[in-house]
Structure 1
């Protein structure tokens, strides 16, 4: 009889540990303020050089909305929540632009997260948010590699911190 109890107990423990749980909900609005930014830009002589950008008044408003969907990530034992992530520059009157996540099971402007980290792209800009640690990073490809040699968009990387505002 004891031989049957031990395997049954192990099966129950294994089933419980293999059961997926839902990820925490990071829905809400965030103010993400830039702290530092650098990249490259063409100078007066049209030679591209390293540049440090002034980000004293630069921030994003980020609206994270739970879609009530989940996806299973291959590297987690948690069902990742699926969100829409709208990003706009603070102080502008434009509507937030939903950025596009990457991953299996996502459609259109959806982003999956199991732990508060969200990565998405919108027209040449990659956004990386970590709403657990309240940090962000953006990267813009810019015009240096553009076929149009007159494109003066400046590639850059920015970092900063976020705070929840609702």
Structure 2
């Protein structure tokens, strides 16, 4: 009898272990406030100069939505959750724009994450969020690298902190 009970317990324990583990759910809305930004800006003529940008009142609302899909990763036992990540500047009437993830195994506007670290791109801007550490980084590539040389946009890197608002 003890062997039967032990065998049944062992089967149940093995089945529980075999269940898929999925990363924590980071869906929700976040307010991400920029704390510093620097890059390059047009100078005189064709010259570019180092620049520090004013980030007073610069913030973004980030809407992270769980798609209820998962993605198996070859380097982890835990499956990644798949999200859509919508971004808009705080205080504007613009629509939330979905960011495009970098994983070839997700749909265009989907981002996979196990641990709250999410990377995506929208209109020459790279967004990196870590919703576990509640930090973000933005990199805009426009301007300086433009092949025709006439684009005077200012490439920059900004960093900041996030807080969950729902």
Q: TM-score, normalised by structure 2?
A: 0.88
Q: Whole-Å Cα distance in 2 between the matches of residues 16 and 51 of structure 1?
A: 55
Residues paired across the two proteins, number:
158
Equivalence for 1:47? 47
Task: Name the residue aligned to 1:38.
Answer: 38
Following TM superposition, the consecutive aligned residue runs of length 4 or more in structure 1 with deviations greater than 4 angstroms are 10-19
**Equivalent residues in 2 for 1:47-86, closer than 5 Å:** 47-86=47-86
Q: Distance in 2 between matches of 1:107 and 1:155?
A: 28
Q: Displacement of 1:45 after TM fit?
A: 3.4
In structure 2, the gaps of 5 or more residues are: 1-9
Corresponding position: 1:143 with 2:143: yes
Residue of structure 2 in register with 1:116 after alignment: 116
Offset, 1:55: 0.4
The alpha-carbon deviation at position 132 of structure 1 amounts to 0.5
* CA RMSD across the alignment: 2.0
Between the aligned partners of 1:78 and 1:160, the Cα distance in structure 2 is 28
Which sections of structure 1, spanning at least 5 residues, go unmatched? 1-9
1:161 and 2:155 matched: no
Distance 1:96 1:85 in 2: 9
Cα distance, 1:148 vs structure 2: 2.3
